[in-house]
Amino acid sequence: MGIIHAKMDSNFKKNIKIGTRKSPLALWQAEDVAKSLKSAGYNTELVLFETIGDVKMDTNIAKIGSKGIFTAELETALRQDSIDIAVHSAKDMPSEDSPELKILAFTERESAHDVLISHQPLQISSENIVRASWQIGTSSTRRVAQLRHWWPNVRTAPMRGNLQTRIRKMKEGQCDALMLAYAGVHRLGLDDMIVMHCPTDTFTPAAGQGSMAIQIAKTMPQSLQNALKNILNHPETELLVAAERFFLSRMNAGCSMPVFINVEVKEGSSICLMRGGVSALDGQKYIAEEIICSKERILQNADILATGILNKGGRTILKEIKERINS
């Protein structure tokens, strides 16, 4: 069943088809959205997809291309009216919307920081990190670049697959630890494997990390859009992630590039701390800046932050990375 073009009223119950990837984390996220909709009186149905990013597991993400590698198949289903909403990790979303689609809502953000997890008791301190020759598994160019910059003695190993697959590879000896988003680790109940919480002033996360993005076709009736947004959207998260995504678009960099941005609201205030930057793949050239601003000027300051980074050498770094990837 596609979108029902009907007038909404207080007794109207609609079956919402939710598109999601098949991984355990993606399913957890879709089921969490379904739970919220069910509590508001909607029936739901999950529709499962494999994306190009799930299929091409032996290919570096940057080589596949930065746009839509984990979202394109769900977006096609939205255009074809075979699902009503798609649930994505917000960090996987291209910074520019498709003309026919829109992000309706951002769910309340889990803590955005990265963590190290391991199946063995690693001794974590600033001193032994500097000396360490650990091998850390990650599929993220951002994390590889940051590791090479901050911990140059640490080795990295490419690690694709869902979280359970990566943990299996780690236990088989392909790496000593994995660097992952805290949100995914926490959502799957794996907090006991965390050996380090990575500070965001050094390991600054990707745009949107920690939130889920709810995507729809623009043809969805406005009354239904309003109802679903009221249930699923977290206004503060929407504001912060919008600024991060605007920064990403101004940098002209996709989610597979080593560009990082995190916007936080200082507790009990309307003041935001915005950290962003870009790194060369080897971590040698590394530009990072901070801005403190009010919520009211958050987009203007995201623009200022991106412009400053680009003018201080970020434009050259991104050009060199794109040339290397395409060579």
201 is catalytic: no
What is the bridge-based pairing of β-strands 177-181 and 135-138?
Answer: parallel
Cα angle value 253/254/256 (rounded, 5°): 115
- The residue annotated as part of the active site, out of 9, 32, 58, 92, is 92
User: From CA 278, how far away is CA 146, in angstroms rounded?
Assistant: 9
Number of helices (H) and strands (E), helices first, in the chain?
12, 13
Cα angle value 75/278/212 (rounded, 5°): 30
Sequence-distant (6+) residues with CB within 8 A of 319 are: none
Q: Please say whether the beta carbons of 216 and 83 come within 8 A.
A: no
Q: How many residues does the chain have?
A: 327
H/E stretch holding 87 reads strand 85-89
Catalytic positions, written as ranges: 92
